[in-house]
């Protein structure tokens, strides 16, 4: 599902790079004194086709926002009047909009790339030199750990083992029967349990989970999953075109075997040649032709499980809502760090992440553990 920010970036990119006529472009020295024109030339010559489509859309979004800010402030978009003060004021306006510091820094980076390019192509166009040069990025806040504690993981698994009851139909007729109610038509408790257990033991991102294919799991038959001592998920596609292999725990193997045996066959029957591992329920409105589960669906099912979990606990420190996919990724990373002695290479390899800043964030202990350290002094 495309986000509002993504759609806004697409609109800006089309606005800046589309041309009503296809006459040869004038040289840069003949480019009119307009921010919108220069932004368009920058995107066409230095971004589109050079960087990825995603990067181009983000750059267009950020520069479009600066253009709107500048036009609102001065009533024109003459690039020859842009000075350092304008960039600083724009940075402050982004902060006032309560954007995250990292988001503000990304906006500034896009503008800096643009102004550097313009200053190189047309020296002297800016009245006081590159207006973004030397402007410091915002200091990023400390990275907060989001790993679940041992007790939280234990109670989460307990709830997952009882998901069928949570998905059961409610009503007097089912209560009278006493034999347990069937699940909602589109409820998939077995699938949801398998997803939670796979996330806990692999640290996969939500996008990586929904793009998994059944053929990537070795072995991928229910009996093989139950009897195998090691099950590998090969070729997981991560960020930056990376790939890695991950392994499934005993809990995940058993949960996945049950899903492949009970729920996936009936959902795969209505999907057109689906190779996806996790499928949305048959009959779901706006279901994809191949039945592949969406990222939003993963978010929603985890949030729901988190609410069910918290409804049963009285200790505020045991609560996990809102439960998010990255919480389970952090939990896996923290446990992996403990098992490997924080081996940097192994963490990068299993998490598919090269940033040491985020590796450190993933491996920070839960607050319950961190608070316990001081008791030893």
> Is 61 a member of any domain?
yes
Q: What CATH number is associated with residue 91?
A: 1.10.150
> Is 215 a member of any domain?
yes
In this structure, of 2-6, 123-127, 226-230, the range with the lowest mean pLDDT score is 2-6
> Quick one: 136 and 233 in the same domain?
no
> Quick one: 264 and 296 in the same domain?
yes
> Is 9 a member of any domain?
no
> Quick one: 128 and 194 in the same domain?
no
pLDDT tens figures, 80-114: 999 999 999 999 999 999 999 999 999 999 999 99
pLDDT tens figures, 193-207: 999 999 999 999 999
> Quick one: 317 and 210 in the same domain?
yes
Question: Cβ–Cβ contacts within 10 Å for residue 175, how many?
Answer: 9
Q: What CATH number is associated with residue 293?
A: 1.10.443.10
pTM of the model: 0.65
Q: What is the mean pLDDT of the chain?
A: 85
> Quick one: 197 and 321 in the same domain?
yes
% of the chain beyond a pLDDT of 70: 79
In terms of Cα–Cα distance, which of 112, 4, 7, 121 is closest to 66?
Answer: 112
Yes or no: say if 217 and 231 are a contact pair by the CB < 8 Å rule.
yes
Residue 375 exposed, middle or buried by CB count within 10 Å (0-12, 13-18, 19+): exposed
As for how many domains the chain has, the answer is 2
Of 90, 124, 141, the one marking the end of a domain is 141
> Quick one: 155 and 113 in the same domain?
no
In terms of Cα–Cα distance, which of 3, 9, 6 is closest to 299?
Answer: 3
Half-sphere exposure of 69 (CA within 13 A, CB side): 20
> Quick one: 35 and 167 in the same domain?
no
Question: Is the model's pLDDT at 25 over the cut of 50?
Answer: no
Yes or no: say if 87 and 132 are a contact pair by the CB < 8 Å rule.
yes
> Quick one: 273 and 157 in the same domain?
yes
Which domain range does residue 105 map to? 14-141
> Quick one: 166 and 132 in the same domain?
no
> Is 214 a member of any domain?
yes
> Quick one: 134 and 68 in the same domain?
yes
> Is 377 a member of any domain?
no
Cis-peptide into 322, omega within 30 deg: yes
> Quick one: 192 and 271 in the same domain?
yes
């Amino acid at each position: 599902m495309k986000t509002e920010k993504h759609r806004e970036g697409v609109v800006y990119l089309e606005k800046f790079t589309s041309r009503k006529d296809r006459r040869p472009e004038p040289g840069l020295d003949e480019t009119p004194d307009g921010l919108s024109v220069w932004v368009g030339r920058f995107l066409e010559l230095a971004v589109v086709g050079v960087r990825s489509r995603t990067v181009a859309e983000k750059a267009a979004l950020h520069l479009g926002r600066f253009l709107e800010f500048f036009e609102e402030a001065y009533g024109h978009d003459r690039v020859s009047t842009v000075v350092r003060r304008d960039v600083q004021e724009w940075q402050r306006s982004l902060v006032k909009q309560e954007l995250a510091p990292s988001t503000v820094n990304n906006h500034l980076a896009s503008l800096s790339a643009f102004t550097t390019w313009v200053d190189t192509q047309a020296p002297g166009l800016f009245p006081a030199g590159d207006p973004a040069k030397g402007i410091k990025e915002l200091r990023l806040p400390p990275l907060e750990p989001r790993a679940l504690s041992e007790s939280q993981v234990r109670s989460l698994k307990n709830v997952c083992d009882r998901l069928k009851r949570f998905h059961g139909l409610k009503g007097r007729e089912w209560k009278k029967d006493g034999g347990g109610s069937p699940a909602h038509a589109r409820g998939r408790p077995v699938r949801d349990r398998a997803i939670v257990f796979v996330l806990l033991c692999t640290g996969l991102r939500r996008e990586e989970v929904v793009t998994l294919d059944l053929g990537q799991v070795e072995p991928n038959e229910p009996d093989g999953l139950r009897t195998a001592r090691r099950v590998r998920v090969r070729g997981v596609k991560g960020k930056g075109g990376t790939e890695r292999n991950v392994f499934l725990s005993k809990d995940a193997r058993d949960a996945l075997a049950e899903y492949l045996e009970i729920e996936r066959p009936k959902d795969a029957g209505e999907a057109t040649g689906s190779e996806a591992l996790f499928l949305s329920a048959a009959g779901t409105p706006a279901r994809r032709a191949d039945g592949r589960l969406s990222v939003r669906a993963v978010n929603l099912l985890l949030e729901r499980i988190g609410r069910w979990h918290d409804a049963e606990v009285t200790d505020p420190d045991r609560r996990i809502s809102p439960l998010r996919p990255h919480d389970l990724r952090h939990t896996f990373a923290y446990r992996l760090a403990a098992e490997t002695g924080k081996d940097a290479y192994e963490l990068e390899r299993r998490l598919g992440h090269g940033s040491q800043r985020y590796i450190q964030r993933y491996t920070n202990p839960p607050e319950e553990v961190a608070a316990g350290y001081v008791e030893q002094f």
